């Protein structure tokens, strides 16, 4: 039952085997709706379908409550000779019954439009290489004017081109691109490049374009919460919800050493993202993140909770589940009535490269918009945002519905900025200071000011005095935009970098990165603490790495740039992880200015990054630590070992110092020293290592380290020592160690000896050291296989060896067969032929339980998702 349950989960979640798909679902919308199962207390209805629309890729509501749909019949690729004819539709529910009754094709000459955003000024559309803008001057539902806003976005993969247009809290436009896209976009301020995934941020009235963050595989979900914090989903990642912020770098980022992990490792691949802020939904759903598991034919929900500077995310019940194989939700938006609207791309085939572009099973015309609402709860009355005065508009900033607040800010941004600014002052003065929401109302006003480029620093000061850290953090984020143009910004950052809450300090780091300069780096380091949470530490690392061109030169002149605490300098240099950044710390060490508290971290860093002369300093410190009984010697030696792994190191170390550490009372010191001697090619230590290996009283871990060291020494004497130790006159334990070491240095010629060594290995021996050198190239694996012909090995040794082959990066089929023969193990054929597979799939579909399978798959005790994170 477990196998069937897990297979069912894998089958429905990953669309495995779509090339063999024969069960094409009934396309009738009523039939499909009968298979859409809402969560308890909710209902789902059809808002629109073909022929009113084609296949929807993205949706956006305007201030009049009309739904704009970017659609395609061309995806995944236009046919040769065809003319681009994809459309944007405008849908309207004229009688308020929750069903669209009017549809107009607004634009009909597009090529796979994957993004859309309706604003008071017009409609923005992501159209392949271009970000387009369309106006409808007479409001007849037909575009009158079109303009290319920006061009040069990559089109290497049609489901990775620019998508997910969203309006941020202050009216800037955000849109995504994905991993296989390379964009080179010309703006009035120069060309911007984004290679692979990331989020673009645009102020359309000035064409100020920048990159909000980098990475993710195929992020078709981006949304902001009530406090301006941003989150993303990933349609080809497996980490659920991602906490996103300016400068974040996620998985697949180009040229970045460290990435931000997602909040839900092992969770499904998700598209779309909406955050429930609607009184039409029950209280327990407020703030939930709604995402589309399009592979699993369901709509899921997550809750995020504050966790120091970042968040934790928990998956909650699904909002919609379905057994209809063509239900493909990809975008979700709250509507003006408070209900949730879903763009259903409708297709039994979702695979892009695995299934032929012209496969006749691909659905090229159908698409649906579904409406999800809570039962027995009233809908929200549509505010007439585009018809009221500025003063009336401002009161909509108090709305519980995020849709109303977003549309209000877009409308205010389109009105006369001077008058909006004037009315805002009156409105703020009239706010009820005793209201529990007054700080949020003020924050919304600040976002309006940011949108019209009239940020009031007195309001900033007021908000920074709020008791709510979310308000303070959001206020700092406002100043992240063009801080160099605000002469009061740095004074604010000096205040907020010391805020009691880490998220406010984290937002300050983002702003300091945007501001740049040595003084920003110095201020950022004031937030350094050894107890930083992971998200905050990542933000500080990102800041120091981004500002290295500012602070490093000055630190080389003044090693005390960050003050007397050398720990700060150690951390700053560690952020860069490059040898040429080490000199300030070395100079501080030579001057005797490194405190006891910073000594060990400083030595570790010098050991990792230093040249040979610095390594000599570090090794002498390690010998001193061991002689004086000071803790930390193993950590220093580990750093030296890491340095050796990164490149050849040959420091001038005396044999006496190495001998001293090999005689240490601490075995962990002796083990590391034996490895280091080999890494540094200290040939004069060969005899000492040979004696350690040959002594049966030597602890196994120390003997293994000595073998490793001896194998690394490039000399005839070391090779001869390994040959002597591997001869049959030595005990089997010694022979196994020695031959494993010899195979490591020259695996090809030693293959016969390695095969012979396997024959003497006992059940409790580990064959990994012997076999590992042969798993780097298939040719080496074949050589060992050849040498094993006619040999017999212990069955338990063979079993262990076969487990190792399963994770080999090369073809080991011949070696696998040789080990099976030598160990007397019968091969197990786990492959199913086509008929058996079809029967198993049919059985699974009939009797399997996908929910049960997911529960089993995600059990901590099984650790399935640790190695096989999937949807």
pLDDT, greater one: 85 or 854:
85
Does residue 839 surpass a pLDDT of 80?
no
Angle at 773 between CA 771 and CA 774, to 5 degrees: 70
We find that the CATH architecture of domain 611-745 is Alpha Horseshoe (1.25)
Task: State the pLDDT at residue 868.
Answer: 46
From CA 706, how far away is CA 550, in angstroms rounded?
A: 45
Q: Which of the residue ranges 272-276, 584-588, 764-768 would you say has the lowest mean pLDDT?
A: 764-768
The closest of 303, 312, 196 to 261, measured between CA atoms, is 312
Rounded to whole angstroms, how far apart are CA atoms 234 and 292? 10
Pick the CATH number of 6-374 from 1.10.3720.10, 3.50.50.60, 3.40.50.150, 2.120.10.30: 2.120.10.30
Q: Which residue has the tokens 């005899």?
A: 687
**Highest-scoring range by mean pLDDT, 373-382, 428-437, 638-647, 718-727:** 373-382
Would you mind telling me the total number of residues written for the chain in this entry? 871
Bridge partners, residue 113, by sequence: 127
Per-residue pLDDT band at 769 (split at 50, 70, 90): confident
Dihedral pair phi/psi, residue 518, rounded to 5°: -65, -40
* For residue 4, pLDDT beyond 60: no
The CA distances from residue 225 to 251, 264, 477, in Å, are 23, 18, 13
Burial tier of 37 (Cβ tally within 10 Å: 0-12, 13-18, 19+):
middle
Domain residue ranges in the chain: 6-374, 611-745
Least confident segment among 231-245, 699-713, 816-830, 844-858: 844-858
Torsion angle, CA of 249/252/257/263, rounded to 10 degrees? 50
pTM (two decimals): 0.87
pLDDT band at 589 (very low <50, low <70, confident <90, very high): very high
Measured between alpha carbons, how far is 326 from 340 in angstroms, rounded to an integer? 20
User: What tokens does 694 get?
Assistant: 């040959």
**Stretch 349-355: mean pLDDT, rounded?**
73
Whether 754 and 768 have beta carbons less than 8 Å apart is answered as: no
Burial track 137-167 (b if 16+ CB lie within 10 A, e otherwise): eeeebebeebeebbebbbbebbbbbbbbbbb
Residues 549-579 have pLDDT tens digits of 999 999 999 999 999 989 999 999 999 999 9
pLDDT band at 867 (very low <50, low <70, confident <90, very high): very low
In 3D space, the residue among 502, 501, 575, 477 whose CA is nearest the CA of residue 492 turns out to be: 477
Residue 737 has pLDDT above 60, yes or no: yes
Between CA 633 and CA 640, with CA 639 as vertex, the angle to 5 degrees is: 90
Q: CA dist 73 to 38, 118, 320, 804, Å?
A: 29, 22, 26, 49
pLDDT score recorded for residue 136: 96
What 3-state class would DSSP assign to 811?
Answer: coil
Tell me the helices (H) and strands (E) count for the chain, helix number first.
32, 26
Q: How confident is the model at residue 19, as a pLDDT?
A: 59
**At residue 303, does pLDDT exceed 80?**
yes
Q: Is the pLDDT of residue 829 over 70?
A: no
Neighbours of 360 (CB within 10 A): 7
The pLDDT confidence band at residue 866, using thresholds 50, 70 and 90, is: very low
At residue 434, the pLDDT reads 75
686, pLDDT greater than 50: yes
Q: What CA–CA distance (Å, rounded) separates 172 from 18?
A: 40
The predicted structure's pLDDT at residue 790: 93
**127-136, 281-290, 830-839: least confidently modelled range:** 830-839
State percent of the chain over pLDDT 90.
77
Mean pLDDT check: name the lowest of 41-45, 154-158, 472-476. Answer: 154-158
pLDDT in tens, 139-194: 999 999 999 999 999 999 998 999 999 999 999 999 999 999 999 999 999 999 99
By the 8 A CB rule, do 143 and 157 touch?
Answer: no
> In 10 A of CB 784, how many CB atoms?
27
pLDDT class of 809 with cuts at 50, 70, 90: confident
Answer whether 244's CB lies under 8 Å from 232's CB: yes
| SS3 assignment, position 525 | helix
Cα 762 from Cα 764, distance rounded (Å): 6
pLDDT in tens, 493-552: 999 999 999 999 999 999 999 999 999 999 999 999 999 999 999 999 999 999 999 999
Q: Give the per-residue pLDDT at 704.
A: 87
Closest CA to 441 of 672, 276, 226, 257: 226
Strands 67-72, 42-49: pairing is unpaired
Note the maximum CA span of the chain. Answer: 99
Beta bridge pairs of residue 86:
110
The answer on pLDDT for 210 being more than 60 is yes
pLDDT of residue 13: 45
Across the beta sheet with 289-293, what order do the strands follow?
36-38, 310-322, 298-307, 289-293, 271-275
Instruction: Please tell me the predicted confidence (pLDDT) of residue 16.
Output: 45
Inter-residue contact 749 to 774 (CB < 8 Å)? no
As a whole number of angstroms, the distance between CA 857 and CA 463 comes to 46
CA distance 33 to 44: 8
State the average pLDDT over residues 695-723: 89
In angstroms, the CA 643 to CA 537 distance is 24
Q: Looking at the predicted structure, is the pLDDT value of residue 6 above 70?
A: no
Rg (CA), the chain: 32
Residue 618: both structure tokens together: 């570090």
Please say whether the beta carbons of 292 and 329 come within 8 A.
yes
The arithmetic mean of pLDDT across residues 731-750, rounded, is 86
Query: Quick one: pLDDT at residue 229?
Result: 98
**What contacts 852, CB < 8 A, 6 or more positions away?**
5, 8, 9
Q: Give the confidence band of 861 by pLDDT, cuts at 50, 70, 90.
A: very low
Residue 49: predicted pLDDT: 98
pLDDT score, position 353:
65
Q: How far apart are CA 273 and CA 291, in angstroms?
A: 5
pLDDT confidence of residue 15: 43
**Whole-number mean pLDDT of the chain?**
92
Q: Which of 6-15, 305-314, 792-801 has the highest mean pLDDT?
A: 305-314
């Amino acid at each position: 039952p477990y196998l069937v349950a897990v297979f069912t989960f894998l089958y429905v979640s990953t669309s495995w085997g779509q090339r063999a798909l024969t069960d094409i679902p009934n396309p009738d919308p009523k039939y499909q709706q009968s298979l859409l199962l809402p969560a308890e207390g909710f209902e789902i209805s059809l808002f629109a379908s073909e022929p009113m629309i084609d296949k929807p890729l993205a949706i956006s509501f305007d201030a009049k409550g009309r739904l704009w749909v970017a659609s395609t019949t061309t995806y995944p690729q236009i046919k040769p000779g065809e003319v681009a004819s994809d459309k944007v539709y405008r849908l309207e529910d004229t009688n308020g019954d929750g069903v669209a009754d009017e549809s107009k094709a607004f634009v009909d000459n597009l090529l796979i439009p994957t993004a859309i955003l309706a604003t008071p000024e017009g409609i923005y559309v992501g159209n392949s290489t271009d970000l387009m803008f369309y106006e409808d001057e007479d409001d007849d539902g037909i575009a009158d004017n079109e303009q290319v806003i920006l061009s040069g976005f990559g089109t290497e993969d049609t489901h990775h081109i620019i998508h997910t247009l969203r309006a941020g809290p202050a009216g800037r436009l955000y849109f995504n691109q994905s991993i296989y896209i390379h964009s080179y976009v010309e703006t009035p301020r120069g060309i911007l490049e984004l290679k692979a995934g990331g989020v673009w941020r645009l102020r359309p009235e000035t064409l100020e374009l920048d990159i909000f963050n980098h990475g993710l595989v195929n992020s078709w979900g981006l949304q902001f919460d009530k406090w301006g914090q941003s989150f993303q989903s990933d349609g080809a990642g497996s980490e659920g919800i991602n906490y996103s912020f300016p400068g974040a770098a996620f998985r697949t980022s180009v040229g970045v050493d460290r990435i931000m992990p997602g909040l839900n490792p092992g969770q499904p691949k998700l598209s779309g993202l909406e955050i429930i802020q609607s009184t039409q939904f029950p209280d327990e759903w407020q703030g939930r993140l709604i995402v589309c598991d399009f592979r699993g034919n369901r709509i899921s929900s997550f809750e995020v909770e504050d966790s120091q500077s970042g968040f934790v995310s928990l998956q909650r019940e699904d909002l919609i589940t379905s057994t209809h194989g063509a239900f493909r939700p990809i975008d979700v938006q709250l509507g003006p009535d408070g209900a949730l609207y879903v763009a259903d791309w409708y297709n039994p085939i979702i695979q892009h490269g695995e299934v032929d572009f012209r496969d006749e099973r691909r659905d090229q015309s159908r698409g649906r918009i579904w409406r999800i609402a809570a039962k027995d709860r009233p809908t929200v009355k549509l505010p007439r945002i585009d018809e009221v005065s500025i003063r009336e508009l401002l009161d909509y900033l108090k709305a519980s519905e995020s849709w109303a607040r977003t549309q209000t800010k877009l409308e205010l941004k389109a009105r006369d900025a001077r008058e909006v600014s004037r009315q805002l002052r009156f409105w703020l003065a009239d706010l009820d200071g005793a209201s529990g929401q007054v700080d949020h109302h003020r924050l919304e006003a600040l976002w309006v000011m940011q949108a019209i480029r009239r940020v009031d620093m007195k309001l900033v000061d007021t908000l920074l005095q709020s008791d709510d850290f979310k308000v303070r953090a959001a206020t700092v984020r406002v100043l992240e935009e063009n801080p160099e143009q605000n002469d009061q910004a740095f004074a604010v950052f000096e205040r907020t970098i010391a805020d009691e809450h880490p998220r406010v300090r984290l937002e300050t780091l983002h702003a300091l990165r945007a501001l740049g300069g040595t003084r920003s780096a110095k201020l950022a380091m004031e937030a350094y603490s050894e107890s930083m949470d992971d998200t905050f530490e990542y933000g500080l690392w990102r800041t120091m790495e981004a500002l290295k061109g500012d602070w490093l030169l000055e630190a080389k002149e003044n090693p005390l740039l960050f003050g007397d605490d050398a720990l700060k300098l150690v951390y700053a240099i560690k952020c860069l992880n490059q040898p040429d950044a080490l000199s300030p710390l070395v100079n501080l060490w030579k001057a005797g200015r490194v405190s006891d508290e910073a000594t060990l971290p400083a030595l570790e860093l010098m050991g990792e990054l230093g040249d040979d002369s610095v390594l000599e300093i570090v090794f002498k410190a390690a010998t001193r630590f061991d002689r004086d009984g000071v803790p930390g010697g193993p950590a220093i030696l580990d750093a030296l070992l890491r340095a050796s792994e990164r490149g050849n190191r040959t420091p001038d170390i005396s044999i006496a110092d190495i001998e001293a550490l090999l005689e240490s009372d601490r075995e962990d010191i002796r083990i590391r020293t034996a490895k280091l001697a080999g890494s540094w090619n200290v040939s004069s230590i060969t005899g000492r290592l040979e004696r350690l290996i040959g002594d049966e009283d030597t602890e196994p871990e120390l003997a293994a380290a000595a073998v490793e060291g001896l194998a690394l020494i490039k000399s005839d004497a070391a090779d001869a020592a390994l040959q002597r130790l591997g001869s049959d006159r030595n005990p089997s334990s010694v022979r196994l160690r020695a031959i494993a070491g010899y195979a490591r240095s020259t695996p090809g010629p030693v293959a016969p000896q390695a095969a012979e060594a396997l024959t003497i290995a006992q059940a409790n021996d580990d064959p990994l050291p012997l076999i590992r050198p042969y798993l780097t190239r298939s040719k080496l694996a074949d050589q060992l296989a050849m040498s094993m012909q006619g040999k017999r090995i212990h069955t338990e040794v063979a079993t262990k060896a076969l487990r190792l082959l399963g994770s080999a990066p090369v073809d080991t089929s011949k070696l696998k067969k040789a080990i099976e023969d030598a160990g007397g193990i019968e091969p197990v054929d786990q492959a199913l032929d086509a008929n058996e597979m079809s029967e198993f799939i049919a059985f699974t579909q009939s009797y399997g339980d996908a929910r049960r399978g997911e529960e089993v798959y995600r059990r901590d005790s099984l650790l399935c998702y640790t190695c096989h994170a999937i949807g």
